[in-house]
Structure 1
Amino acid sequence: MQNPRDKIIITCAVTGNQTLPSMTPHLPITPEQIAEACLGAAEAGAAITHIHVREPATGMPSMEIDYYRQVVELIRAKNTSLILNITTGPGGRFAPSEDDPKIAGPGTLFLTPAKRTEHIAMLRPDIATLDLNTMTFGAQVVINTPPNVRKMAQVIHAAGTKPEIELFDSGDILLMHDLVKDGTLKAPHLVSIVLGVKYGFRPAPETVLYARDMLPPDTEFTAFGASRSAFPMVAQAYLAGGHVRVGLEDAVYLSRGVLAETNAVMVEKARDIVEMLGGQAMSATEARAHLGLVDRGRTTRSAA
């Protein structure tokens, strides 16, 4: 049984892929807004920022490499210690057409592993997410086949980037064990246990403990909740011996009926919860040492 840590890492997921501009007027959309959200989160106590990008004209999710490059450059111009965690999640979504289900219908964004990781190869961030889930997700399905996951992991490792394994249900953890056995994933491991996504892990204390106890040895974990479970899961993750994550990717409310005006205020609330429970948030420098990450500030910026 793990005990709460003296110090934990706070990750802030500042914009994501699922939160819509219609849900909140405070969602960062342009590269400048996303970079400023990351910098603000860092000032509030986040050691890691998790980054997606969006199409500035529409606010919808994007995979445009130049937007990623702009975000990285803008952050690194002001902060070289903040740990950058960039998504590879977009590109695994399939919606069968009504007339012929083997043909992609509206809502599909299904890309090759190379396309989903080309920005990682170019920008070489500290961390890149690697989703293991194949599941119903809204009106579509997300498909991450083991062969595609292996190809993406190879690109991430070749970039000198640490994969953060995203786990949405217990079967994902079993797949992770297989990927560890065949050498695709190399210890020490970093994972996120995602709770509160419909048809995935239920956001409850027993779920966090169950998932934690299934993880491979030598694994650091973050557990976080979506929507109304975001802040309760901060407390649960800490109490279970894990790290925490908040941000406008995961939830838009700071409290019942009160929209979070910035990612920074969400980080401040998460930090306050951890401190009330007896812990402290690591600085980016401390988190980098704890996770065994090299100082990528200059190299990431130059690669960008």
Structure 2
Amino acid sequence: MNRDVIVSCAVTGAGDTVGKHPAIPITPEQIAQACIQAAKAGAAIAHVHVRDPQTGKAARALHLYREVVERVRASGVDVVLNLTAGMGGDFVPDPAEPWRGGPGTDMASVEDRLSHVVELRPEICTLDCGSMNYAQSAYVSTPDQLRQMAKIIKDVGVRPEIEVFELGHVWMANTLIEEGLIETPAMFQLCMGIPFGAPADIRAMTAMRDLLHPGSSFAAFGIGRMQLPMVAQAMLLGGNVRVGLEDNIWLDKGIHASNESLVTRACEVIRLLGGRVLGPAEAREKLRLTKQR
């Protein structure tokens, strides 16, 4: 069991939640404010996606990330920034010509997927460690692409949070570690309950944890109504936790959540289980991060 727990908050994500919730952060100002509010509620880490300010759809433009990062850093509120590098791998086959991408496809080069990471140098960025079926589309991240991405991330001095959605991703990540492309101790995020990856249950989380590279740290999250149960499960299995509107828009049945309320609830669960919530300085020390300026 982990009694010194780091809470991450994924404040907006890339999913189709706009219109399903009255206050999904969309603009860079709203996303930055969500990071700040989550930090004040107890999150040591803010996980950041950006959205098109006009449509609310998922985006990956450098200027949007830059504005979020600059606003958070100028706020005076200390929080570890974790920028996603998962955008640019969505493929939806065209029904008539399945070798071509149809509506919903967003495929980008390795360099484009990481341009904001190279430019802004956050303390952490994600590395989604493999391809998978994702709801009605496919997410594509091949072994060669992952090797290239891991090298770029390492070369710019950013710490990768390895996102794994099923056991094959753990195998791929361990291979990158053994090849020297990811430094040890590695840092994993176990992503539970995303169709069609690992289910959000104790068996899947335990199996993934048991196969992580020796000495690695991990956090975990579940989506929807499994978000808070997975907070408790991750802590009991020795990990850190993640909550936020990227993964779940409800606090209770019929009651919309905010990032702040989800972090507050997660902190309550941690304390009720006898744990302590770490602040950003303690999180940096535990995860061996170097604070960016």
- TM-score tier, shorter chain, comes to over 0.9
RMSD: 1.0
Distance 2:129 2:194 in 1: 14
2:145 aligned with 1:148, yes or no?
A: yes
Structure 2 residue corresponding to 1:285, chosen from 270, 281, 285: 281
Report the alpha carbon displacement of residue 80 of structure 1 after superposing the two structures with TM. Answer: 5.8
Question: What is residue 216 of structure 2 aligned with on the other side?
Answer: 219
Distance 2:79 2:232 in 1: 23
Deviations 1:91-137 (A, max 9, x none): 00111111211111111101111000010000000000000131111
Structure 2 residue corresponding to 1:25, chosen from 22, 27, 45: 22
Distance 1:18 1:121 in 2: 24
Does the 8 Å CA contact 2:135/2:196 hold for their aligned counterparts? no
TM-score normalised by structure 1 residue count: 0.94
Distance 1:183 1:295 in 2: 23
2:17 aligned with 1:6, yes or no?
A: no
2:48 aligned with 1:51, yes or no?
A: yes
Secondary structure of the structure 2 residue equivalent to 1:50:
strand
Deviations 1:154-205 (A, max 9, x none): 1211221000000000111111121112111110100000001111111111
Does the 8 Å CA contact 1:20/1:59 hold for their aligned counterparts? no
Question: What is residue 41 of structure 1 aligned with on the other side?
Answer: 38
Report the alpha carbon displacement of residue 273 of structure 1 after superposing the two structures with TM. Answer: 0.3
2:181 aligned with 1:180, yes or no?
A: no
Q: What are the ranges of 5 or more consecutive residues in structure 1 without an aligned counterpart?
A: 299-304
Structure 1 residue corresponding to 2:163, chosen from 158, 161, 166: 166
Aligned length: 293
Question: Following superposition of structure 1 onto structure 2, how do residues 64-103 of structure 1 map, counting pairs within 5 Å?
Answer: 64-79=61-76, 81-103=78-100
Percent identity for Structure 1 against Structure 2: 41
Report the alpha carbon displacement of residue 19 of structure 1 after superposing the two structures with TM. Answer: 4.0
Distance 1:135 1:160 in 2: 28
2:265 aligned with 1:274, yes or no?
A: no
Distance 1:129 1:275 in 2: 28
Question: Following superposition of structure 1 onto structure 2, how do residues 126-275 of structure 1 map, counting pairs within 5 Å?
Answer: 126-260=123-257, 262-275=258-271
Distance 2:141 2:181 in 1: 15
Distance 1:236 1:133 in 2: 24
Large movers: runs of 4+ above 6 Å: none
Secondary structure of the structure 2 residue equivalent to 1:58:
coil
Does the 8 Å CA contact 1:19/1:248 hold for their aligned counterparts? no
Deviations 1:227-246 (A, max 9, x none): 11111100100111100000
Moved more, 59-68 or 80-89: 80-89
Instruction: Give 1:229's aligned amino acid.
Output: M
